[in-house]
Each structure stands twice: as C-alpha cells, then as structure tokens.
Amino acid sequence: MVFTQTLTQTPPEIGRNLADPADLAAAIQTLKKERRAIILAHYYQDDAIQDSADFIGDSLELSRRAASTEAEVIVFCGVHFMAETAKILNPGKTVLLPDLEAGCSLADACPADAFADFRRRHPEHIVVSYINCSAAVKAQSDLICTSSNAVQLVQQLPADRPILFAPDQNLGRWVARESGRELTLWPGSCIVHETFSEQALLRLRLEHPEAEVIAHPECQQHLLDLADFIGSTSKLLQRTETSAAPSFIVLTEPGILYQMRRRSPSKTLYEVPGADGCSCNACPYMRLNTLEKLWQCLETMAPALELDEDIRRQALVPIERMLAMSA
C-alpha cells in the first residue's frame, strides 16, 4: 500500500501564510486545541516538531505519557511502533502519525511469523522484546522493554529461566553484560546506530581529550567499548546536564542535540560521522514527519492507527507488565 503524505489539501484561509514555519506552527496549536489533541514527540524529531510538541521524551517516557493522557486525540510524532503502542494503550482514542511510512529497521527485521518460529524453537524461554517491534511481535512476548529499563527488567526475571531477546542484538548484548544474564538474541539492528565510524570516533577522542564519549546501547559493541557513558536517549540528555565534562562526543541520532544545547548551552557537542564520512545518522524514518504533515494530520484527522483487536489485547499484556515493573 502507498501512503502519500504530501500537503495535498489547500490550507484554510485564516489570514496566515502556511508556507511560513511560524504561521504553520501557530496553525498547528490552534487546530490542536480544536481537536482536543496532545502532541507527543520523540527526541529524534526535527527541531520545529519538538517545538510544537506538548511533551518530548524517549520511548519509555512517551509510552508512560500515552498511557496517562486524558486528551481525546494523540498525535504521535515518532515512528510507527511508537504510535501503535499508544493505540494499544488507548483503543478508544484516535492516534495519528503524521507519516504512516515512518517505520523502523528493527521492527522491519523481525516479521511476526519468523518470530513465532524462533519462539517455538525455544519453548522454555521468557520472551523479552524491545519496544521497537510490531504489535504482532509484542503480542507474542512476555515482556516489553525500552533502552531505559531493559537492564532493570531483565534483572527482575527468575534466575532459573532462559531468556530470548528481540529484535536488537546490540542492545541485547549490552543488556546481557550489564545484567549478568545470558540472552539468546534475535539478529536485528538499527541502521542509524550501526553507521558510526570507529576511526572518526578515535580521531575525535584524540582531538578532544577532555570530552566524554556518550553512546546509545543500540550502537555496536566495539563502539560501546569506547564509551564513557551508555544510556537511552533521555539518559544521554541527563548526562550532558549532570556530568562535569565541558564537552561530549555523542553516538546517537542527532535530533537529541537540540535539547542538549538548550539545556546545557555552555557545553560543546561533537557528532560522529558515518563510516564513509556521511551524516547518515539522522533516522530516515523519524525524519519523514514534517511540520506540514503534522498540520495536515490534525486538519484531516488522518492517517490514524488501526489495530486488530485480538492482537491489541495480547500486545497490551507485556506492555502493561513493563509499565508496572518499571514504575
């Protein structure tokens, strides 16, 4: 199916020029009130989208906010699995995603039928899935985790039970090391976090010995081995605020730099380029959402997430377990 998300509708005559980002942002706020909507945004969204949001967070914080909101409409500026999680938690609400094609390489790497085979081959295992997966995979899981709570949750599992971990092998390896538990890993990875160049990182470290290297656990092991601090997006943001270091070499999606700079304007941040010198570490899925598409989805109330009710009910169980275990 093809989802065209270009601005196909002429904006209403409201005495504003919606080609102007400031007017577009104002029109979004007006429409948001009319629709009784809340706008949730992940830190990997463009700056202008972050500025339009009621709440910005990492995957865990956004799930919590989606679970507790009283708004009638949730506009999720993030990727499909995030909006899907909001819908699983709020079946009676309208959940909008500005661009339905905003997917995720991790979710794509773990088709539900292949995952079912994997589970069948490991019948004794507890199944822990990273939230970056489809509702159909969540529905087959015992427990969902995010990069914020994965270590803490795995440590709570019975010591005599083996564990399957999907779909991010890099996160899984880090969780195994931190928790001291052996995990059987699904071989998925994030196309963004596996692009960083080790050579470029080593060069930046030599040039800026005072800088702390901070990394997201979706990065590959050889890069995590060079990091001074590893954590989820929110934990990396907090680290730039609380550490005494004057500068940071940041190994994660560059959308987070916007909030890092706002909260710690005196600190210097260095981005690590990709292996061929590219700046390909902006998530191509996250960046499909734009301010225009955000306006358009509020205007048309589409595209909205729809889910099979049986899958939704089954997927809700491990998500609620996660929220209870990481409260």
What is the four-CA torsion angle of 314, 319, 321, 327, rounded to 10 degrees?
-160
| d(C-alpha 36, C-alpha 69), whole Å | 11
Range 196-225, binding ligand 13P (CB under 6 A): 218
User: x/- string (CB under 6 A) for ligand 13P, residues 152-191?
Assistant: --------------------------------------x-
| d(C-alpha 298, C-alpha 198), whole Å | 42
Residue in the structure block whose two tokens are 């295992």: 125
- What's the closest the beta carbon of residue 210 comes to ligand 13P, in angstroms? 26
Position 289 contacts ligand 13P (CB under 6 A): no
21 residue type, one letter: P
| d(C-alpha 106, C-alpha 224), whole Å | 19
Buried b (16+ CB within 10 A) or exposed e, 235-261: bbbebbeeeebebbbbbbbbbbbbbbe
Buried b (16+ CB within 10 A) or exposed e, 5-23: beeeeebeeeeeebeeeee
Residue ranges binding ligand SF4 (CB under 6 A)? 44, 79, 104-106, 132, 190-193, 218, 253, 283, 285-286
210 residue type, one letter: E
Q: Which stretch binds ligand 13P (CB under 6 A): 88-96, 141-149, 176-184, 312-320?
A: 141-149
- What's the closest the beta carbon of residue 10 comes to ligand SF4, in angstroms? 32
CB under 5 to 8 A by kind: which of ligand 13P, ligand SF4, none does 76 bind? none
Position 84 contacts ligand 13P (CB under 6 A): no
**C-beta of 153 vs 190, nearer to ligand 13P:** 190
Position 259 contacts ligand 13P (CB under 6 A): no
CB under 5 to 8 A by kind: which of ligand SF4, ligand 13P, none does 169 bind? none
The CA-based angle 86-233-312, given to 5 degrees, is: 20
CB under 5 to 8 A by kind: which of ligand 13P, ligand SF4, none does 285 bind? ligand SF4
CB under 5 to 8 A by kind: which of ligand 13P, ligand SF4, none does 174 bind? none
- What's the closest the beta carbon of residue 285 comes to ligand SF4, in angstroms? 5
Instruction: Please state the φ and ψ torsions of residue 58, each to the nearest 5 degrees.
Output: -90, -175
CB under 5 to 8 A by kind: which of ligand 13P, ligand SF4, none does 84 bind? none
Helix, strand counts (H, E) of the chain:
15, 12
Q: Which of 59, 134, 169, 189 binds ligand 13P (CB under 6 A)?
A: 59
The alpha carbon of 92 is separated from its chain's Cα centroid by a whole number of angstroms, namely: 23
**C-beta of 21 vs 187, nearer to ligand 13P:** 187
| d(C-alpha 130, C-alpha 175), whole Å | 11
Positive or negative torsion for Cα 289, 191, 95, 321: negative
CB under 5 to 8 A by kind: which of ligand 13P, ligand SF4, none does 191 bind? ligand SF4
Q: Which of 58, 99, 212, 292 binds ligand 13P (CB under 6 A)?
A: 58
**C-beta of 35 vs 193, nearer to ligand SF4:** 193
Helix (H) or strand (E) run with residue 124 in it: none
Position 132 contacts ligand 13P (CB under 6 A): yes
* Eight-class DSSP state of 231: -
Position 148 contacts ligand 13P (CB under 6 A): yes
CB under 5 to 8 A by kind: which of ligand SF4, ligand 13P, none does 41 bind? none
- Residues binding ligand 13P (CB under 6 A): 58-59, 132, 146-148, 190, 218, 232-233
